[in-house]
Amino acid sequence: MRAARVADDARPAARIRGVHAASGGVYGSPRVHAKLREAGTVVNRERVEQVMREHGIVGRHQRRRYRATVPAPAAAAVPGLLRRGFSAGRADERWYGM
């Protein structure tokens, strides 16, 4: 029984490796599954995940996002012109926004 299961894993593993290699090693299980379905191979998505896991086939992960604006450590702090006093004596005297 176990030998039959290993033999059954060899066929999809070869196809999965082919699709994964054709993508440049980028595709993970969802895209590999979609490409196999487009090619006419009937295979379950969970089965693709399992075979990829067992054979060490891993897709590329998203890159870490970096902040575009990093304040300079030597930059002067912006002065608080209102000094937290937001109450105004009359209308249109003080404006505040973020």
Specify the pLDDT at position 82: 67
User: pLDDT for 51-89, tens place per residue?
Assistant: 999 889 998 888 877 777 877 888 888 777 767 777 788
Query: With bands split at pLDDT 50, 70 and 90, how would you rate the model's confidence at 36?
Result: very high
In SS3 terms, the chain reads as CHHHHHHHHHHHHHHHHHHHHHCCCCCCHHHHHHHHHHCCCCCCHHHHHHHHHHHCCCCCCCCCCCCCCCCCCCCCCCCCCCCCCCCCCCCCCCCCCC
Query: With bands split at pLDDT 50, 70 and 90, how would you rate the model's confidence at 95?
Result: confident
The model's pTM:
0.57
Query: With bands split at pLDDT 50, 70 and 90, how would you rate the model's confidence at 94?
Result: confident
